[in-house]
Structure 1
Amino acid sequence: METLRILHTNDLHSHFEHFPKIGRYLKKAQADKSVSEVYTFDAGDFMDRSHPFSDATEGQANIELMNKFNYDAITIGNNEGISNPHWVLEKLFDHADFPVVLANLREEDESMPKWCTQDKIITTKKGTRIALIGLTAAYPMTYGPNHWHVKMLKNTMDDLLPKLKGKYDMLIMLTHIGLRMDRWLSKNYPQIDLIVGGHSHDLIPNGEKVNNTWITQTGKWGNYVGDIHVEIGDDHKVRKITPITVPVASMPEIPGDEEVIQGYREKGKEILEQQTVAELPEKFKDDKTAAIQVSLDAIANFAGTDLAMLSSGLFLAPFKAGKLTKYDMQKALPHPMHVVRSTLKGTDLWRLVMEIEKNRHYLEHFPLQGMSFRGKIFGQMYYKGIKVDHRRRIVYVNGKEIDPEKEYQIAGLDHYVLVPFFPTLSIVGDNEFLFPQFLREVISDYLAKNYPVKQEVKKK
């Protein structure tokens, strides 16, 4: 008989406030002598550029801290794969002390990325062969423009599993595809023993068994740590899997934790504050509307359109007058979103505007979660180049009544394609996702060009 203890995390999202407790828990558990061996895994979205330390270091701070968790393997989530430009992900794991398993991502020439492997075989001291396969959310709409080829899950599994047949005794999936797709895997690939999952932020306190497969997730933000007990017979076959989750809130805090946590934020702030973006006039002082208006101009300029739309809930702080730093922009717009150029026929643009106007009062205070949003409420929608006569239900584009047969282009965000409030965008919009800059970088570049930092004249 062989006993394994499998520790796991998912969707940490740079919530460093939990790292001291998680680190101590993992270290103690990894030294457990009551079991044959201990393994530690992460299921992706470990970084989030809404934290200044992650943003300032392009995720290298996350890697440095995660090295201390002694992971045996991880996979990536959409935050690593999509929120980062291609070149950032290429070098993200240069100093990682753990392997990355990821079967469904390729370079554009179909070669494997140099920083990952599609699978990994771990052999225990007693000779049990454990196969690890990693999967990330298959989002071709956003991976494609970021110069990656993401493969569909069925194609990946159907191609890889026959090659691994006979090479393992236990199959563990590290997945960042969400609970619904984890259940799909369990129903369609009975050879899977255990799924260590993430992405959908589901907390499964004692795991979920679907057919022969156990599915585990620990919710989000490092609020819980997964701790699984596995029994394996002398024939190397899995006898029993018992998953639990441990709330981080129940773990003891020690003096100095808060200082360490605050230190991460201060380090990021210090780096970002040293980089000045622009020097803004007095009109921007404490005026969120001014920030929204210039941001509409910025995304329209970036997308090459006359029209644009943005929601006020994106702006967590106004742009201050005077010298504006990268830290100010990070505070104001922490969301890892990208600009989208949508092409719509006049009749469809009219329908989109009507959807926005119909939902306007509902969305003004709507508490929104997920889909790259890092704020609290959706807020009011603002337009550039569009006006609405509500009484007559007429939409004007650049001062002229909308032409039903003409094609129009409008700049928005990937966020608006993903949320369910404006179905016209996703159903009939020809949506082009623009990479690599994300929202605050696009706006920062525009501000830098239009409100450059004044050079100080040195006195002789």
Structure 2
Amino acid sequence: MTEKIAFLHTNDLHSHFENWPKVRHYLLDKRAQLRKQGYQVYTVDVGDAIDRWHPLTDATDGQANIQQLNRIHYTAATIGNNEGLNNPHHVLDHLYDHANFPVILDNLYDTKTNQRPKWSQFDKVVKTKQGTRIMFVGLTVPYENGYKFLNWRATDYKKTVPKILNKVKGKYDFLVLLSHLGVDRDRYIAKHYPEFNLIVGGHTHHLFPRGEKDNNSLLVAAKKYGYYVGCATFELQNHKIVNEKATTVRTADLPSQKGDYAEIKDYMDRGNQLLTDYKVAEIPETLHAKLKEPANINTVGLKAIMEATHTHAAMISTGMFLNSIPKGIVNMRQIHNCLPHSIFPMSSLMTGQSLWMLVKEVNKSRSFLSRYPMKGMGFRGKIFGYVRFAGIKYDPKTEIVYYCGKPVIPSKLYKIGMLDHYMFIPFFPVISIMGHNHIFHDKFLRVIFAEYLHRHYPLK
């Protein structure tokens, strides 16, 4: 007897609530349609559903997103780096408290207990009406340099996958990997581990319109932001695949329903109102954001970084500040609009020689970066802009770098406050190669900026 199973899948929604009503309608309608056609249907998400660029996500620590995901009744989900790295440890520990779906995750451990997080489970097995055992396992991209500062340990997928397969051997008929690893790692797994029948991918925002067959595995992925939703169908006989098909649908091609616009607007309005209600400080003058000219908002940003990282010198790029903040009472909505990035403060300890090299790298890239359309690595702006320093000066005639007014000594150690973004982008390699770096992963740039304003310009 032929058995029919189907998997609906989403990935990298990134809090793009403007597409969520259509995504939700499609998932629920398609599931009902497939069931009428005799399919047993499973719905999965493979991470980065949450992104703090959206005011409602930021204001609710992601709980608003979980409420929406609960409306789908996902069979299983895993986390992406946005859930894992953009939430303090205690926030991630409670992110899924009210989720009605299991989080499957096999390569993240709490460094204090050396155990997998209490909110995750190793696998999930569902049994079809015909007795086929479908097993779900999950992996997230192991950004070890980020996770360690949050008291998590992320293990490499090449070491983890063999351990998973050894542990689950003989316990499944159909194996699904929920992967937030990226397309290259998914293809590697498919090539080397034919045990996986289906790999649902994300992270690299790739699209497989009709899937990709690699070795024994069908790879599926639905781009990003809810632009697409995917469906993979299988026909089985005696628990073995005899036919398979993958499709994606573009949500822009789906019809809107009455109330969608009001729903989308409500997400933004509620988030903005929550942030507006959070008053931070009262400033005596407007903080002007300017990409090219000197601006006082850069000075405040530099001071905030120095206080947060306990340093006497700092660097920041002008493209970080998207909007000016007018004089008077400041609320978190204004700060969120100005600094929507998922970027953290960081300190870097390096020798005078390395500091000299860093300043040279900044100067060398100055013209290029001033108009470079920066994307990724937590940045939510448009242009990188110019690097501004505090406590560091450079004399182009003598090529001497000064730290707090004194010429740097090549062998001496110096500590600079900056942003983790600069370590991850390719323009300042001396930071990652020569710097001893510590990311302050408990607070975003906008949070330390708000705290600085609150300390120095308290509400009257």
Q: TM-score, normalised by structure 2?
A: 0.96
Alignment equivalent of 1:312, drawn from 285, 309, 318: 318
Aligned to 2:186: 182
Aligned to 1:102: 105
SS across alignment from 1:388: strand
Amino acid paired to 1:107: D
Deviations 1:61-93 (A, max 9, x none): 000011112211000011111100111111111
Amino acid paired to 1:242: K
Please state if 1:11 is matched with 2:17.
no
In structure 2, C-alpha distance between the alignment counterparts of 1:432 and 1:12, rounded to whole Å = 30
Please state if 1:324 is matched with 2:325.
no
Once superposed, which parts of structure 1, at least 4 consecutive aligned residues long, lie more than 4 Å away?
A: 285-288
Map 1:158-307 onto structure 2 (within 5 A): 158-233=162-237, 235-284=238-287, 289-307=295-313
Amino acid paired to 1:436: D
In structure 2, C-alpha distance between the alignment counterparts of 1:250 and 1:393, rounded to whole Å = 58
Contact 1:44 1:74 in 2 (8 A): yes
In structure 1, C-alpha distance between the alignment counterparts of 2:277 and 2:98, rounded to whole Å = 25
Aligned to 1:2: 3
1:393: how far off? 2.8
Contact 1:5 1:35 in 2 (8 A): no
SS across alignment from 2:209: coil
Amino acid paired to 1:150: A
In structure 2, C-alpha distance between the alignment counterparts of 1:390 and 1:286, rounded to whole Å = 27
SS across alignment from 2:208: coil
Aligned to 1:448: 454
Alignment equivalent of 2:89, drawn from 78, 86, 89: 86
1:186: how far off? 1.2
SS across alignment from 1:31: helix
1:285: how far off? 5.6
SS across alignment from 1:348: helix
Alignment equivalent of 1:375, drawn from 371, 377, 381: 381
Map 1:116-131 onto structure 2 (within 5 A): 116-131=120-135
SS across alignment from 1:180: helix
Contact 1:287 1:319 in 2 (8 A): no
Identity of aligned residues (%): 44
Map 1:55-94 onto structure 2 (within 5 A): 55-94=58-97
Contact 1:225 1:245 in 2 (8 A): yes
**How many equivalent residue pairs?**
453
In structure 2, C-alpha distance between the alignment counterparts of 1:431 and 1:25, rounded to whole Å = 45
Contact 2:286 2:324 in 1 (8 A): no
Q: Which runs of 5+ in 2 are unaligned?
A: none
Structure 1 residues 139 and 285, CA, compared in 2 at 3 Å: closer, same or farther?
closer
Q: TM-score, normalised by structure 1?
A: 0.96
Q: Which runs of 5+ in 1 are unaligned?
A: 455-460
1:182: how far off? 1.0
SS across alignment from 2:42: strand
Please state if 1:49 is matched with 2:55.
no
Contact 2:288 2:297 in 1 (8 A): no
In structure 2, C-alpha distance between the alignment counterparts of 1:384 and 1:239, rounded to whole Å = 65
